[in-house]
Amino acid sequence: MKKQILNLGRVLSKAEQKLIVGGTDPISGSGGGSSTVIQMGVCFVNGRIISVPCDSLCPNGTDPICA
């Protein structure tokens, strides 16, 4: 089934949909050749959204929301 993107109402074909992959590209370190995948989550602190790694706590001590 074709899905509609909110970007100007464009409809992606099945082949184009398969090309969309999110969250799997590793974040490279300091260019040393080793790469580590870091899953990021969000925290809501004082009405603001803060991005933090999923394996750490939010600044207010709660757990981040991770996918």
> Coil, strand, or helix at residue 66?
coil
| 39 located within any domain | yes
Domain that residue 45 falls in: 3-53
CA distance 18 to 11: 13
Total tally of structural domains belonging to the chain? 1
H or E element at residue 17: helix 14-19
Per-residue pLDDT of the chain (67 residues), as tens digits, is 444 444 456 777 777 777 766 555 555 555 555 567 889 999 999 989 999 999 999 999 999 999 8
Instruction: Determine if the pTM surpasses 0.85.
Output: no
CA distance 54 to 56: 6
| 66 located within any domain | no
Structure tokens at 50: 């803060």
The answer to whether residues 52 and 64 touch, using CB atoms and an 8 Å cutoff, is yes
| 67 located within any domain | no
| 28 located within any domain | yes
